[in-house]
Structure 1
Amino acid sequence: MSPKKRYTNLDHMSSGNSLHDLLRWQSERRKNPKDLSLSIEQAPSKETSRLFANRTEASITWIGHSTFLIQMNGLNMITDPVWASRMPIMKRLTKPGIKLNELPEIDAVLISHGHYDHLDFATIRRLKGKPTYFVPAGLGRAFKRRGYKKVVEGEWYDSFLLDDLTFTFVPAQHWTKRTLTDTNTSHWGGWIIESREHSVYFVGDTGYFRGFKEIAARFTIDTVLMPIGAYEPDWFMKVDHINPEDAVKAFLELNGKTFIPMHYGAYHLADDTGPEAIERLDAEWNRQQLNASQLRKLLIGETHWL
């Protein structure tokens, strides 16, 4: 049997963290516990009925973490669908913004990479509809052996058409692993969804990297769904997770019109908390005197109508 392909980042960038580094981080975490009682708020009212029936308007609804319901051109799309109440070793801190059974039928599922907080097959089994699964190269086999047939694998900058939408898989700086032996045997990245009227860039999970400038040179981007959490301690997380200040830097390099933050508040993945991430994002936005209307901080379950 030939060895499985192992994927790498641009410039072969890697965190290089060792077991010693991991133990050092865990020791630091125990000495400096964070208050997890403050969490990101749920939207006071949710538009589930309107979303369920919608086939004409474009919308983005934050379910929580990296999960969004995106509606464009009459299609219902889900990014990194995770409704799990816990990951293998941690409990979810915030409930998903919309119940799974309140979703409309899904036409497309977009997966950024295989980490458990981004890919939950128990959730996928419960999605309504018969979606097409757009996944990174190397991850298709995990879907196909579970019986899913409408699976499309993408290498970086591969584009695919579904009805009148174009889906392009673009680089991110990260890594992936689901078992003891499959480290980086599938790829990671973000997805750009383009219609004639609008473009949405789901960044996925990433550190800050030169790829943002490269992506900006190739695409016109309207709405950026940008991660801002899981960045502390900086010495351990910097390569793989972007902090709020660098997220703003990346947004400016992308020349986007609207910044919607994600990947914060749902799980205690690192030493930062959701409220801390938002506080730093606001501080950087104000420091650079950026247009307040371009920053759209959604509550969990809140819908942004495009």
Structure 2
Amino acid sequence: MPTLPRYPQSPQSIGDRFRNLDPMQQAPARGRNVMWDLLFNKPGDTVPAAPIPVRRLRREELDSAPDRSLYRLGHSTLLLKLRGHWWLTDPVFAQRASPVQWMGPRRFHAPPVALRHLPPIRGVLLSHDHYDHLDRAAVRALARTGARFYMPLGVGDRLAAWGVPDSLIRQFDWWQGAEVEGLRITATPAQHFSGRSLNDRNRTLWCSWVVEDAGFRLFFSGDSGYFSGFRSIGERFGPFDLTCIETGAYNVDWPGVHMQPEETVRAHQDLQGRWLLPIHNGTFDLAMHAWHEPFERIAALARAHRIALATPMFGERFLLDAPHPGTAWWRDLPDTDAATSPLLQAPR
């Protein structure tokens, strides 16, 4: 593990650790071991019984894609074309979200496009250093192409230890940002934690991102529990044309660091969002809920609250200037009875 420097100038820093804006919510007393359940008491429906539909992307299609195209590649990895350049969020192309590739949460599907077939990447937005958001092999491969990385404090020190040149690394505290060839990016608060081993918790900062492109505003949540910061971000930068907010891998035992779908809706409303695109779902088995439950719950909530919801298939083009709802593609799998059964409303 690299020796990570301190950032005493950061208001989020206490000693050698970072802290959240709001006090952490406490999990309810449940009298059970969460990790034991995750390892040994998994329900059978946390993993799809059949392959997830993925629209394969060819390099030729990406090369001819119009500006302001967005593609979901998996989990929280988005491929965006903005101002003629390609950007990635939290790129994870590994088979497993794990320190090792012989055990740990395995992907439900391959990325719609292989890492080596991506178009030239101008910039990579990183939200934090957890394994399902920061893939060392992908970062090193992207660095070899000259991609530049934008991330919260401390994460860049990890990248430097992995051999990424300093010239490709830019680190930010909350509310700091940069203008990149007319595109404005700002690191904004999130309610989460960080770490890649047992003894480095909160040694690096975590964040969400605001992306502004000539009047168009996009919000990318990274990982977050529900907190007051969403309203502050909405007041400073909203309204947002599109919010990409985590909706998946939730559990009532993790109230301070992940959101239930009802809280995703509240965050979207606080941000003054127009369209909502739920992320952090459909790729890894990271919780106790059915793999398709996040889609069903957020779809029901969006209807109830009259929110414009977008659920593009992995690899399907989503045009930021002409958004569309997509389809309930998850219902086509044989283990998904959502079309005929009551919605799964009980939080887990």
Q: Do they superpose with TM above 0.5?
A: yes
Partner of 1:135: 151
Query: Within the alignment, does 1:248 sit opposite 2:265 as a pair?
Result: yes
Partner of 2:329: none
**Most deviating of 105-114 and 125-134:** 125-134
Structure 2 SS opposite 1:126: helix
Query: Within the alignment, does 1:200 sit opposite 2:215 as a pair?
Result: no
**1:12 to 1:45, Cα distance in 2 relative to 1, 3 A:** same
Partner of 1:273: 290
In the aligned structure 2, how far is the partner of 1:102 from the partner of 1:28?
Answer: 35
Query: Within the alignment, does 1:11 sit opposite 2:19 as a pair?
Result: no
Partner of 1:34: 44
Once the two structures are aligned, what percentage of the paired residues are identical? 31
- Residues 34, 271 of structure 1: 8 Å contact kept: no
- Residues 29, 271 of structure 1: 8 Å contact kept: no
In the aligned structure 1, how far is the partner of 2:268 from the partner of 2:135?
Answer: 28
Q: Over residues 4-39 of structure 1, what are the superposed CA-to-partner deviations in whole Å (9 max), with x where a residue is unaligned? A: 620111124265799x97724524874461322347
What is the CA-CA distance between 1:124 and the residue it aligns to? 1.6
What is the CA-CA distance between 1:252 and the residue it aligns to? 1.5
What is the CA-CA distance between 1:258 and the residue it aligns to? 1.2
What is the CA-CA distance between 1:45 and the residue it aligns to? 5.9
- Residues 81, 120 of structure 1: 8 Å contact kept: yes
What is the CA-CA distance between 1:57 and the residue it aligns to? 1.1
Query: Within the alignment, does 1:23 sit opposite 2:33 as a pair?
Result: yes
In the aligned structure 1, how far is the partner of 2:224 from the partner of 2:273?
Answer: 17
What is the CA-CA distance between 1:46 and the residue it aligns to? 4.0
In the aligned structure 2, how far is the partner of 1:17 from the partner of 1:52?
Answer: 50
TM-align CA RMSD: 2.5
1:144 corresponds to which letter in structure 2? A
In the aligned structure 1, how far is the partner of 2:230 from the partner of 2:300?
Answer: 22
Query: Within the alignment, does 1:63 sit opposite 2:70 as a pair?
Result: no
In the aligned structure 1, how far is the partner of 2:257 from the partner of 2:281?
Answer: 14
2:149 corresponds to which letter in structure 1? Y
- Residues 41, 299 of structure 1: 8 Å contact kept: no
Q: Over residues 239-269 of structure 1, what are the superposed CA-to-partner deviations in whole Å (9 max), with x where a residue is unaligned? A: 1111111111211121112111110121111
- Residues 64, 266 of structure 1: 8 Å contact kept: yes
- Residues 55, 314 of structure 2: 8 Å contact kept: no
- Aligned counterpart in structure 2 of residue 145 of structure 1, from 161, 174, 178: 161
Structure 1 SS opposite 2:158: helix
Query: Within the alignment, does 1:299 sit opposite 2:313 as a pair?
Result: yes
What is the CA-CA distance between 1:273 and the residue it aligns to? 3.0
Partner of 1:76: 86
Counterpart mapping for 1:160-199 below 5 A: 160-199=178-217
What is the CA-CA distance between 1:162 and the residue it aligns to? 1.0
In the aligned structure 1, how far is the partner of 2:28 from the partner of 2:146?
Answer: 40
Partner of 1:106: 121
Structure 1 SS opposite 2:159: helix
- Residues 27, 255 of structure 2: 8 Å contact kept: no
In the aligned structure 1, how far is the partner of 2:243 from the partner of 2:211?
Answer: 11
What is the CA-CA distance between 1:171 and the residue it aligns to? 0.6
In the aligned structure 2, how far is the partner of 1:277 from the partner of 1:201?
Answer: 19
What is the CA-CA distance between 1:43 and the residue it aligns to? 4.0
When normalised by structure 2's length, the TM-score is 0.79
In the aligned structure 1, how far is the partner of 2:145 from the partner of 2:162?
Answer: 16
Q: Over residues 252-300 of structure 1, what are the superposed CA-to-partner deviations in whole Å (9 max), with x where a residue is unaligned? A: 1211121111101211111123311101111111222x15xx2110111
Query: Within the alignment, does 1:227 sit opposite 2:242 as a pair?
Result: no
- Aligned counterpart in structure 2 of residue 86 of structure 1, from 96, 102, 109: 96
Total equivalences in the alignment:
299
- Residues 52, 102 of structure 1: 8 Å contact kept: no
When normalised by structure 1's length, the TM-score is 0.89
Structure 1 SS opposite 2:138: helix
In the aligned structure 2, how far is the partner of 1:164 from the partner of 1:302?
Answer: 26
Partner of 1:214: 232
2:106 corresponds to which letter in structure 1? K
- Residues 39, 274 of structure 1: 8 Å contact kept: no
